[in-house]
Amino acid sequence: MHRVTVGFLGCGNVGGGAYDIIQRNREEIALRDGIEIVVKRVLVRDLNKVRRSSCPREIMTTSASDVLDDPEISIVAEFLGGIEPSRTYILKALNAGKTVVTANKAVLSSCWSELETAAASNGVGLYYDASVAGGIPVLKNLDYCLQANRIDSLVGIINGTTNFILTKIADEGMSYENALKLAQEKGLAEADPTMDVSGMDVVYKLSILASLAFDCHIPIEAIYRQGIAAITPDDIRFGASLGLTLKLLAVAKRTQTGIEAHVHPTFIPDTHPLAGIRGAFNAVFLNGNAVGDIMLYGKGAGALPTGSSVVSDIITAASAKTHRYSSFLLKDVRAKLTEEWESCFYIRLTVCDEPGVLASIATILSRYGISVASCVQHNANDGTAPLVFLVHRVSNIAMRSAIDEIARLPEVKAVNNTIPVEY
């Protein structure tokens, strides 16, 4: 039996979940992997806080050095979240010859090269499967199962809170505000849900996921982002009448001009495998040039699902003879990113219900080479009417320019939403 001594930085939801899994599945892990995991010290902010986890108070400490400077601890699992002090603690652990396991997408996506370089130069490991899609081993699959492939595209639902909100709006016609409130009451969304609803949480995760998938560094600043706050039940209802389901998607593709990476609400056909991903679940749909389409589905958050990925990383790290490094980071291979990408689009306008409006809009669309696939006018009210267009594939930049011009037409009262459609 190989005994591995671990220190935890943090014991919140995920840290507590990882601790409980280690205790609960001790026999299975010992039998299968020949490893005994001993959690020796756990850094917490408040020793007296009541916790759901079975982690005993005696191993808790408020001093990071009890974890980072203990020579017996060979693996440090970081659960603090955010960039500092996580970055400083992770670097300290790596430089002290300890392997680090982290669930922290913010520190990883923001300081990845620095952390990977520190791990490689010290000959220790940096493991982060839990940082993307919680319990779904999507990063591990890229590293250990799909290496035979060149990945050409990935599309994912990798934020459970927003998927829960969009599902509630779609199924129950709830307003965005009420669906968000419910997500908060259920403990899904944070008290400050900005990271989730703005799409920033997805940007962090897509930066990590797409960099690994395409073997080049895709920094967070390079990813186009649009959140879900402007979505209304009307959009979801109008989309449904066209056979479309709305999801907040992370999209990354290899194209002839480079890599495109973007995060935004997106309509997909009701028949698309991602359309059936409901509530707080996550899924990642990948295409590899050998395997073809493959989809991974599961819980993207929560104490035990995310803890499952963390404990798996601890076992992988403890079993490894040598550690794997992302060579694109060590060799500083940067993505050739393209800001221009193509998509079909859904456009919802509020227009004056009078002759010539459609012609004015169509003239602008045609000037930008944008071809209309369908146009539906919904019930007029007080002389204005919602007008919904679906347009064929066009560059996002041409679409934006056309929309700016359409918004200036006096007959157009509002451009309510412009949403990409992925077929």
Q: Rounded to a whole number, what is the largest CA-CA distance in the chain?
A: 81
- Catalytic-labelled residue, pool 98, 105, 205, 299: 205
Count, residues near ligand HSE per rule CB under 6 A: 8
Shortest Å distance, C-beta 23 to ligand HSE? 23
Say whether 105 is catalytic: no
Shortest Å distance, C-beta 303 to ligand HSE? 12
Shortest Å distance, C-beta 298 to ligand HSE? 12
- Residue 243 DSSP class: T
- H-helix or E-strand containing 312? helix 303-319
Cβ contact 108:128 at 8 Å: yes
- H-helix or E-strand containing 277? none
Shortest Å distance, C-beta 279 to ligand HSE? 11
Which DSSP string corresponds to 1-20?
Answer: -EEEEEEEE--SHHHHHHHH
Residue 269 or 298: the one with the smaller Cβ distance to ligand HSE is 298
Shortest Å distance, C-beta 134 to ligand HSE? 6
Residue 17 or 160: the one with the smaller Cβ distance to ligand HSE is 160
CA separation for the pair 39, 56 (Å, rounded) = 10
Q: What is the phi/psi pair of residue 23, to 5°?
A: -75, -45
- Residue 128 DSSP class: -
Interaction between residue 160 and ligand HSE (CB under 6 A) = yes
Tell which positions 54-73 bind ligand HSE, by CB under 6 A: none
Task: Determine the residue with CB nearest ligand HSE.
Answer: 161
Interaction between residue 301 and ligand HSE (CB under 6 A) = yes
Applying CB under 6 A, which of residues 129, 196, 260, 313 lies at the interface with ligand HSE? 196
Coil vs helix vs strand at 87? helix
Applying CB under 6 A, which of residues 161, 226, 308, 326 lies at the interface with ligand HSE? 161
Instruction: Provide Rg for the chain, Cα atoms.
Output: 24
Residue 6 or 197: the one with the smaller Cβ distance to ligand HSE is 197
Residue 216 or 301: the one with the smaller Cβ distance to ligand HSE is 301
Binding segment for ligand HSE among 114-122, 159-167, 209-217, 317-325 (CB under 6 A)? 159-167
Binding segment for ligand HSE among 146-154, 155-163, 210-218, 324-332 (CB under 6 A)? 155-163
**In whole angstroms, how far apart are CA 423 and each of 154, 253, 355?**
13, 14, 33
Question: Of 145, 418, 419, which Cα lies nearest the Cα of 284?
Answer: 145
Interaction between residue 116 and ligand HSE (CB under 6 A) = no
- H-helix or E-strand containing 329? helix 327-330
**In whole angstroms, how far apart are CA 186 and each of 276, 277, 279?**
21, 19, 12
Shortest Å distance, C-beta 3 to ligand HSE? 31
Partners of 418 in beta bridges: 347
CA separation for the pair 324, 327 (Å, rounded) = 9
Residue 193 or 386: the one with the smaller Cβ distance to ligand HSE is 193
Interaction between residue 201 and ligand HSE (CB under 6 A) = yes
Interaction between residue 300 and ligand HSE (CB under 6 A) = yes
Alpha carbon 262 to chain centroid, angstroms: 11
Interacting residues with ligand HSE (CB under 6 A): 159-161, 188, 196, 201, 300-301
Q: What are the catalytic residues? A: 205
